[in-house]
Amino acid sequence: MYSISTALFPRSSSAAAAIGRRRLFSETLFSNPSSHLFNTDEVSLFRGPRFKPMASISTQAEEKQKPWLFVGLGNPGKRYSGTRHNVGFELVDFIAEAEGIAMSTVSFKAAFGKGFIGDVPVILAKPQTFVNASGESVGPIVSYYKIPLKQVLVIFDDMDLPFSKLRLLPKGGHGGHNGMRSIINHLKGSRDFPRLRIGIGRPPGKMDPASFVLRPFNKEEHEELDFTFQNGLEAVRILVQENFNKSATFVNTAKSLTTL
């Protein structure tokens, strides 16, 4: 949807060297969710008794290999394309294009893509259930791949934030958003997963909020959103390659295009 230049979004200098590692791990990570990075049944390099890794080391390795899940909320179909309720879809598409991740698969009731950001495995998903039933897609993905909730980032629109403003939080309630309500319900009531909110502003005058979220963006708003999506992409890269706190600091202090 967007034309992304490699100059705008350069990969790290180690990207080429990581291709072999990506190929080595991709099938292990995505085709068999219960597999491990280490097989302690392999022939030992040493003669005599074989030493098995400590349980804590095994657990850390298993957790580290779990992919991140990035879920963008929206409604399927051309009728809803480019509307305020679909900014979650749009940011996921933006990330997919920048990182070279194909979103051509339909799985778990979602447009689905697997790939890497740097050396980190990621899954991108756009539930096709309509916003209000997003949990029907997200719950099964999390369960199948055994993804820790701290590695499930949900991206969605928020009327309580000024237009194009981003806010990254480690957890929280649904805030009246029916898509988030559905996801929480399908995660057994847990709210302990991060979320990236994209501000769409408040309805003008006495406009019905339900009508407002289905309203398309104009040309100027799209230009500002492109800038917001670049910040969102950078935030995701920091999140998976460094940590949540650094990403949150970047997001929550970033200026919008209109304030530059």
Distance set, CA 114 to CA 76, 152, 240, 243, 245 (Å): 20, 14, 15, 21, 25
H helix runs in the chain, sequence order: 15-31, 55-65, 87-99, 135-145, 178-186, 209-212, 219-241, 244-253
H helix runs in 34-189, sequence order: 55-65, 87-99, 135-145, 178-186
User: Are 88 and 127 within 8 A, CB to CB?
Assistant: no
Any catalytic annotation for residue 177? no
Beta-bridge mates of residue 156: 197
Distance, CA of 202 to CA of 197 (rounded, Å):
14
Q: Given 85, 174, 177, 186, which residue is catalytic? A: 85
Three-state DSSP at 163 gives coil
User: Are 22 and 116 within 8 A, CB to CB?
Assistant: yes
What amino acid positions are annotated as catalytic residues?
A: 85
